[in-house]
Each structure stands twice: as C-alpha cells, then as structure tokens.
Amino acid sequence: MFETIQGEGVFTGVPAVFVRLQECNVGCAWCDTQQTWSADPKDERTFAEVIAKQGDVPTWCLASADDVVAQYQFLGFTAKHIVITGGEPCMYDLRDLCAAFEKLGCKCQIETSGTSPVLVSDSTWVTVSPKVAMKGKLEVLKSALERANEIKHPVATSKDIDQLDELINSAVIQDSVVIALQPISQKDRATQLCMETCIERNWRLSVQTHKYLNIA
C-alpha cells in the first residue's frame, strides 16, 4: 500500500492510495508486476514489512479490511481516492474493503482484468482492462464488462482492437462507460494506432504517465 498519483485512465493525475493485492491467475506476458502472481508461504511477512518493502519482491501478508484501513490512517495518507489493484483483485470479495474505506469518506476504484466476478460496493468505480487469450486461458466475463464504468484496453496491434470490438458486442455496455485504449509498453506504433482509433471512434487515449514520470 502506497500513496502516489494515479497515472492512467479516467483519474489520471488524481492523488491516490494504491492497495495492491497478491495473486493473479491471468498471466499477461507484458505484466510489470509479476511479483504479485503467487502467494508462496515462504514470502509471507508482517503488514509493516510489506509496507516498508522496496522493489519488486513477492512478499505479502494476510490482512482484514479493518487492518488495511488502520494502516491507511496510521501512515497519515491524505489521498481519498483508493485504487484496489493487483495481482487480480477480483479473486477476492472486495465489498468489506470498499465499505471500510467509504466510511472514511474515500472513493474506491478497482482495476481488474474482468476474468473474475466483480464483488464491490455500488459506488466503486470499476475499471475493466480486458485480458484476452492470456496464459491463464480465462474468459473475460460478460458480467464484469456490464458492471464496468471504464473499459481500458491494452493495445499492441489492430488485433487487440478487434478483440475489444468482439467483447463490447458480446455484452450490454452502460451508455456512460468510458472506453480507453492504452498502448502496451509505450511503443510508438501502438501509441499511433491508439490515437488514430480514438479520434475515429471518439474514445479516450490512456497514456501510462507514471512511467514517463518514473513514479510508482
């Protein structure tokens, strides 16, 4: 758990506290947080040790919703935007965690691949970043797409846009949903493709500004 600036999507530039949950069964080839994929018992630590860790190490801890909120308060964080991410956060029932933060006047956002049921509070902003044909061979759930407030799709080639079209056509997407294209790894060709498509379709470009700024 750490405080920083949200670097991508609708809330780009907003001060945020990230709560990064351990474990992911999706297996994205380009994932920049592969240390979160498993929860090996030998890597279990105390909450204090996990908060203090430096670098991309796979240490983790068990914590309740109340434990997480207590640490948020103890650390003196001031950001009221809480980003619950992973790993794949929707491998867990997040309703208690969202409710605990909302009692403090915070607003929660989750970032999910859409491959697990989305169990969050009604007011949580759900960002689905669909992961299609990944190593884990998991289906993007129609229910996740239909709960989404924002669909932020990683793009390397035109094939990825075709896959997004198939997903959108397979579900009843909210009229208010924000559709954003995010170039994978800031590649020039992918960025150009995303810009051209966003202009053509009146979608939004999501640039990973935190990577350009070299912040967490």
Determine whether the annotation assigns residue 87 to a binding site: yes
Helix (H) or strand (E) holding 164: helix 158-169
Quote the CA–CA distance of 65 and 95 in Å, as a whole number.
9
Determine whether the annotation assigns residue 33 to a binding site: yes
Determine whether the annotation assigns residue 24 to a binding site: yes
Determine whether the annotation assigns residue 131 to a binding site: yes
Determine whether the annotation assigns residue 86 to a binding site: no
Task: For residue 204, count other CB atoms closer than 10 A to its CB.
Answer: 17
Determine whether the annotation assigns residue 85 to a binding site: yes
Reduce the DSSP state of residue 55 to 3 states and report it. Answer: coil
Dihedral sign, CA of 181, 14, 108, 136? positive
Give the bridge partners for 153, in sequence order.
181
Determine whether the annotation assigns residue 32 to a binding site: yes
Q: Which of 36, 39, 109, 96 is nearest to 69 (CA)?
A: 96
Determine whether the annotation assigns residue 124 to a binding site: no
Determine whether the annotation assigns residue 28 to a binding site: yes
Determine whether the annotation assigns residue 30 to a binding site: yes
Reduce the DSSP state of residue 73 to 3 states and report it. Answer: helix
Dihedral sign, CA of 127, 131, 136, 140? positive
Determine whether the annotation assigns residue 6 to a binding site: yes
* Annotated binding-site residue numbers for [4Fe-4S] cluster: 24, 28, 31
* Annotated binding-site residue numbers for S-adenosyl-L-methionine: 30-32, 87, 129-131
* Annotated binding-site residue numbers: 5-7, 20, 24, 28, 30-33, 85, 87, 129-131
* Annotated binding-site residue numbers for substrate: 5-7, 20, 85
